[in-house]
Chains A and B, each alone.
Chain A
Amino acid sequence: MALSQRERDIQIMLAAAVHLGTKNCDFQMERYVWKRRSDGIFIINVGKTWDKLQLAARIIVAIENPQDIIVQSARPYGQRAVLKFAQYTGAQAIAGRHTPGTFTNQLQNSFCEPRLLILTDPRTDHQPIREAALGNIPTIAFCDTDSPMRHVDIAIPANNKGKHSIGCLFWLLARMVLQMRGTVTAAQPWDVMVDLFFYREPEEAKEREEEEGAVQEFAPTEYVAPPLAFAASETQWEGAAPAQWESEPAVGLPGALVGAPVAAEWTAVPASGWDAAAPTISPAGWDAATVPVASGWEAAGPPAATGWDPANL
């Protein structure tokens, strides 16, 4: 018995607990709720989630320049997913704190005017929603049953609390976007696993890194890419500097930083990795963030130092 694409996706979503809401329900989310369980949790109609994902994917594809899309997550659970999503679709990712004024203050360094905004949680990411409203930026967000819907243009009803759920959703969205663009077809199915988008706890990430030796290389796409000399040198500092990583006050150290697709990390969003590593350090104190890092690098010796000078040292 063959399952359609939609049914297979729904199975994955159910396995990732996308359908589980919370004990409260916002009145505007009522249309997406299927039923309320006996223990008080609202169950989301996953079929509608899939349809909304398709709609969101169509909108993403309609933006001619993918760099004008910003994907954001303040919460650690969503940061890895957001970074991966940006990597595969060519968007820009903001993981960690959103500096107020990035969309409205034209004098700021990090000022940008996106055409589209994708968020993991309207409640924790309320600041970007507010600024988007001031700047005529349409907003897509993953909304839980109790999420405020103000200024959210496309709401994708889903569980945005669990790490599997968030990872699964971004993976599905990315795949849909690639399918609509034609990069991925039935003949060439997408070979990236969902697990890549899952958030990894720091201890788990450290174990992984000790197991893995090789670094997989990912070909960067259109966006600005520092020389791929990085890939080779990464193995050296990776092995040498896990000790430094432990001392990082990181909470949501995206497992992505350690282990496999580090090269990709660098090409896509060189500094966002650091920001994720130190979410409490404001971007203004960005220099402060690089200081603990720099010590790590010195310990590892200066491998391919030439490649790094322009980056941020």
Chain B
Amino acid sequence: MAERGGFGRGFGRAGGGGERGRGDRGRGRGDRARGRRGPRREEEEKWLPVTKLGRLVKDGKIRSLEQIYLHSLPIKEHQIVEFFLGPALKDEVMKIMPVQKQTRAGQRTRFKAFVVVGDSNGHVGLGVKCSKEVATAIRGGIILAKLSVIPVRRGYWGNKIGKPHTVPCKVTGKCGSVTVRLVPAPRGSGIVAARVPKKVLQFAGIDDVFTSSRGSTKTLGNFVKATFECLLKTYAFLTPDLWKETRFQKSPFQEFTDFLAKPTKISLIEDVEKTPIY
């Protein structure tokens, strides 16, 4: 029976390599993704921020991503992340998974793309997107991954010499049945992990770590989400060096209210035509 949806319509490569390419894509570099960056660059230049945070970032009022993390501001536009991490940010498609839904006239196939994004220096993001075409799914996945970029805390195994190279303490993350445990390792151990979490940890910028996992790690979706959760927790853990009282800083929305109060050109026109209520 002729397959519906993606297989025929989508990428020739994807159609044939739906099953075969799984391994390839996992191991290979994000070559295809890089190819995509050409046309995307033009769109980036035309970024018109919609959110307050976006406007502040575009005008350079925000010094770094860390400032955004400090105030727990939700990042809604992926260009914000690109602004700060831009060139260093690499992405990798972990897996393209065809998923199917049964309809009266056969199966409706869609492709689910798992994309991991990161500069190998303390920032990782994970995006999952499902779409009728592989390329769309990957593109969407990269955007979602950028939106979900998280800071990763690194520490030392013993003796604080040089730069932090491993996790600050034992952390564990769980998703579905998969639990992933990261254990600090001495320098030079490298990332002792399975292929999948190894990729994520490399993107995070962790040099040495021991891992232990449990559960159905075959399900790549859950495995990758569990390591991501784990890395999230590195900054959620209260260690003694964080015992000092926080000095609160003003939220950027408060600091820059005057700048934000200025309407952008678009909203000026809108104010006249369209009344602001809801």
Contact = CB atoms under 8 A, between A and B. Distances in A.
Interface string A164-186: 00000000000000000000000
7 contacts: A67-B261, A68-B257, A136-B71, A136-B72, A224-B271, A275-B278, A311-B275
A228 to B, nearest CB: 16
A275 B272 CA distance: 18
B277 A275 contact: yes
Given A68-B257, A134-B74, A113 B52 contact: yes
Output the residue of B253, B273, B278 with the most chain A CB within 10 A: B278
Nearest to A268: B277
B76 interface: yes
Given A65-B257, A94-B278, A136 B73 contact: yes
Contacts of B51: 106, 113
Nearest to A113: B52
Contacts of A68: 257
Interface of A: 64-65, 67-68, 92-94, 96-99, 102, 106-107, 109-113, 115, 134-136, 224, 269-272, 275, 283, 310-312
B257 to A, nearest CB: 5
A269 B277 contact: yes
A135 B278 contact: no
B39 interface: no
Given A64-B257, A65-B257, A135 B74 contact: yes
B274 A94 contact: no
A96 B55 CA distance: 30
B239 interface: no
A110 B72 CA distance: 23
Contacts of B251: 136
Contacts of B277: 92-94, 110, 269-272, 275, 283
B273 A283 contact: no
B275 A136 contact: no
Nearest to A224: B271
Among A93, A99, A136: residue with most chain B CB under 10 A? A136
Interface of B: 50-52, 71-74, 76-77, 251, 253-254, 257-258, 260-261, 271-278
A115 B74 contact: no
A205 B266 CA distance: 38
A26 to B, nearest CB: 28
B271 A107 contact: no
B73 to A, nearest CB: 6
B50, B274, B276: residue with the most chain A Cβ atoms closer than 10 Å: B276
Contacts of B73: 136
B262 to A, nearest CB: 10
A67 to B, nearest CB: 7
A115 B253 contact: yes
Given A64-B257, A135-B74, A136-B251, 16 more contacts: A64-B254, A68-B257, A96-B278, A99-B278, A106-B51, A115-B253, A134-B74, A136-B71, A136-B74, A269-B277, A271-B276, A272-B278, A275-B278, A283-B277, A311-B275, A312-B275
A271 B272 CA distance: 12
- Closest CB pairs A-B (n = 3): A271-B275, A272-B277, A270-B275
A150 B172 CA distance: 29
Nearest to B274: A109
A254 B275 CA distance: 19
A106 B72 CA distance: 17
A107 B257 contact: no
A264 B265 CA distance: 26
A102 B273 contact: no
A310 B258 CA distance: 27
B265 to A, nearest CB: 15
A106 B76 contact: yes
Contacts of A111: 50
A110 B254 CA distance: 22
Contacts of B71: 136
Contact of B276 (A98, A106, A110): A110
